[in-house]
Structure 1
């Protein structure tokens, strides 16, 4: 689902003291030290840098399937495993990714009644029935719900998981979420996926790429070309080129741009980019390959 960043970068005053500057430069290191060690996912399916794909969430794929190497589909819609099995039988070696929301409550999901009221935050603009979650509470009931969702993905035969909305700290969530809170939750989630033999995609959360890169196996992004935030050259400290440099695939979707405005740039970065509609139905225009 399309997620636009809600934070406006603060202006830095010329009168900041040297002590304050030292504090800001040491804070990220302190946060990084508090993170758990990454859990290895030896033997997990991991997409190659150049991987053709389809991202279809509003419905399940139907035959004849596009001749792509990876499908990313809704986990709850495919929880019986039938479509996952069919997609794999259609093309041996094809990876199938389980989409779930890890940072929001969705009132239409079958486990919606399990979410305690204290973890439910503000509604998401333009997404009826969806509310931000207090991800700081992952050590309690919220974590149990997410573990059950990962178990569902594993039982259905998925190879990987795409957790959406893992950037609540950068939005008006209704909770005082900090960058460190998001890092703690995202690394915990990635480790839990790996414990189950599932590779895991980092969805958006562009600013935290440097810290999260060791935990995530590939990346899924929406609209980084439209918002001029795809590469380290654009952002100074973070960018999806860091995934590619680490040998990890990047999957990008643009909705509003013409393919002529982003495909050449994506191909030059070795990104796997598509033009899609907001509905995320079967429509797709790939920048390269099938």
Structure 2
């Protein structure tokens, strides 16, 4: 037999590498490969419960629960899964919270003005060198507890007085970073508020979470998610259901009336 030329050998090796290497939709979870292409993708009209305070009420008969990442152990997520629920991991990715166990890991130079909630300050999202590993650890926690998705909060700092000269480009870059980190871990990810950047970001996120779009006449701006067959999980706090539910049904939003403390109480459209 003739020995293959060096060029042929190199081409064969390259082809073998291309066919065996994991693709971009594959994540490494400690020895097992799980394609992120199989991640959960909620569709328009999916009912949900959002509870971030008080004793968790697991009796609400809905297919989706959105609960705090730090406050609930893996066992809670497992129990919700046994009941047939998908579970969203609530995290603040754009603001620092002094009551979180990892609060001391955030250097003072990335902490800005308060965001209106006690103990919280905006983050300098330009400093991805600092924030990326911190957010990766938080998303590792969500994955390791078995969550199906993540709701990253405070994703529109550039529209607020943060103490930093943040731009729309800074926000797009950071939001896409969070989406990528979630997807690398097999987690779905929702775009929280940030209505102005929906056209640029709808392709990067699997669903949306919105507060008070009806009160401010903005719900139609979430239509790109619905048109992409992606759920919009929506809450109002100050309007009665008869003032927004008809529009929510027309727009196919998954709408609730909640109290600001986001305890178990809810009224669904």
Separation of aligned partners in 1, 2:46 and 2:136: 28
Deviation per residue, 1:96-143 (Å, 9 max, x gap): 000000000000000000001110000122x111000000111x2211
Q: CA deviation at 1:166?
A: 0.5
TM-superposed deviation, 1:88: 1.0
Would you identify which runs of 4 or more consecutive aligned residues in structure 1 move more than 2 Å? none
Out of 225, 239, 255, the position equivalent to 1:243 is 225
Aligned Cα root-mean-square deviation (Å): 1.0
- The counterpart of 2:175, out of the listed 165, 172, 186, is 186
The alpha carbon displacement at 1:195 in A equals 0.4
CA distance in 1, matches of 2:234, 2:121: 25
Pairwise mapping of residues 1-290 of structure 1 onto structure 2 (< 5 A)?
A: 40=25, 41-63=36-58, 65-78=59-72, 80-90=73-83, 92=84, 94-125=85-116, 127-138=117-128, 140-231=129-220, 239-287=221-269
Q: Which runs of 5+ in 1 are unaligned?
A: 1-38, 232-238
C-alpha contact 1:60 1:77 (8 A) present in aligned 2? no
The number of equivalent residue pairs is 236
d(CA) in 2 for partners of 1:59, 1:143: 30
Unaligned runs of 5+ in 2: 1-23, 26-35
TM-score normalized by the length of structure 1: 0.80
Q: Distance in 2 between matches of 1:177 and 1:59?
A: 35
Give, in whole Å, the separation in 2 of the partners of 1:59 and 1:89: 22
Report SS of the residue matched to 1:122.
strand
How many Å apart are 1:47 and its aligned residue?
A: 1.2
1:60 deviation in Å?
4.6
Tell me if the contact between 1:276 and 1:283 (Cα under 8 Å) persists in the aligned partners: yes
If the length of structure 2 is used for normalisation, what is the TM-score? 0.86
